[in-house]
Amino acid sequence: MRKLRTITGVLAIVFAALTVMSCKDNKKEHSNEDGHHTEAGHDHSDGHHNNDKTSIDTSREIKENSQKNTTTSPIIDAYIQIKNGLVADSKEDAANGGTALLEAFAKYDMTTLSGETHKEYMEIYESTKENAEHIVKSPIDHQREHFEVLSTDIDDLITLLGTEKTLYKDFCPMANNNKGAYWLSEVKEIKNPYFGAKMMKCGSVKKQIN
Amino acid sequence: MKIVKIIMLVLLLVFVGIQFISTTRNQSNSTPKTDFMFVNNVPESIHKQLKVSCYDCHSNNTEYPWYNRIQPVAWLLENHIKEGKSELNFSEWENYSNRRKKNKLKSIISQIEKDKMPMYSYMILHGEAKLSEKDKKALIIWVSQLRDSLK
């Protein structure tokens, strides 16, 4: 019994010693920004930051592209796959759609895009990628949250690049915590991806594309 | 008795051994230009709350607790911070496009509403990070306004 106590004692001492040692090299790592903006009273109003809310660039309205673009089809198909997964309350199908969407984007040839269109595409792509990744790995309620944002992305992408497909832009006022949410569908009939079987018919067609 | 002794010795060795594994620390001496607090007009109370409840894992500067240098704690922290920053990094805020900013703000609201953030395990050791119902409400209103102001 005494031996056990000795061992416990030794353990405690080692632990204490390590703690003290580990605190010694408590030096802060230096970052790239070192030296800049260290004072708390940094002037915010130098015009470089979007402090002033009214000065935020409002030119984000995307000009509608009515071209019958076929290159966007794989992306739209993958989006529809996610949508139909959610309509069927299937987390797996939605996740597979997410993977398909990531693949479709990876294959998309963006060398044809230039200037503003390219910039806009990249922003949409970044956002879509993040949303698709969450859809791949999340439970269904979280998938639906990301699907709401994803729908905006894909809608904007279609506005930007055009499509040859006939699509319906649907709206359900109860989705997204009663704030309302859009989605795109390949069929005219309302099939709600935000509620699935719980409220399949909630929503209405707001716009038809092609 | 002998078995207990051996087990204790092995545990001791493992414990000492893992202390030699080093981890990267998430610290910087300055706030970058792109930081959320620089870019936005953040009211004092919200500023404090975000710093205390979010910045340890969602910025380039963590205020480490005293036990952070001991393994395996340091590992766990390192992974949490890495994951946290890949989801949302307030230090990099201005590098996000407006589209992504809006997504992030939406997620912030939803995570707070659903009590998913701040994480439970974090709050055990950081009682001050816990948000009261009143705090949550105020934060959500402010973040929603910021989100609506973005195009």
Whole-number pLDDT of residue B69: 77
Asked if A3 and B16 come within 8 Å (Cβ–Cβ), the reply is: no
- A18–B contact, CB cutoff 8 A: yes
User: Which residue, chain included where needed, has tokens 């703690």?
Assistant: A19
Ranges in chain B, pLDDT < 50? none
Residue type, B93: W
Determine the residue of chain A that is closest to B97 in CA distance: A123
Residue A16 has a pLDDT of 52
pLDDT in the model for residue A46: 42
pLDDT at A2 over 80: no
Tally of CB atoms within 10 A around A48: 12
Place A55 in a pLDDT band, splitting at 50, 70 and 90.
very low
What's the rounded mean pLDDT across residues A45-59? 40
Q: What ipTM does the predicted assembly reach?
A: 0.78
- Across the interface, do B30 and A42 touch by the CB < 8 Å criterion? no
pLDDT band at A183 (very low <50, low <70, confident <90, very high): very high
Q: Is A53 on the interface with B (CB under 8 A)?
A: yes
At residue A47, the pLDDT reads: 40
CA distance A151 to A78: 12
Asked if the Cβ–Cβ distance from A37 to B28 is below 8 Å, we say no
In this prediction, residues A17-43 reach a mean pLDDT of 41
Contacts of B9 in chain A (CB under 8 A): 7
Question: What is the full DSSP assignment across A70-89?
Answer: STTHHHHHHHHHHHHHHHTT
Structure tokens at A48: 């470089």
Q: What is the pLDDT of residue A168?
A: 94
Which A residues, 140 through 169, put their C-beta within 8 Å of a C-beta on chain B?
A: 145, 149, 153
Instruction: State both tokens at A133.
Output: 């990744």
Share of residues in chain A with pLDDT > 90 (%):
53
pTM: 0.75
Domain boundaries, chain A: 73-209
Domain ranges for chain B, please list them.
Answer: 21-149
Residue A94 pLDDT > 70: yes
List chain A residues with CB under 8 Å of B15. Answer: 11, 14-15
Residue scoring higher pLDDT (A202 or A12): A202
CA dihedral of A57, A58, A59, A61, whole degrees rounded to 10:
140
Residue of higher predicted confidence among A61 and B124: B124
pLDDT number for residue A58:
39
Which tokens belong to A80?
Answer: 């529809």
Half-sphere exposure for A18 (CA within 13 Å, toward CB): 19
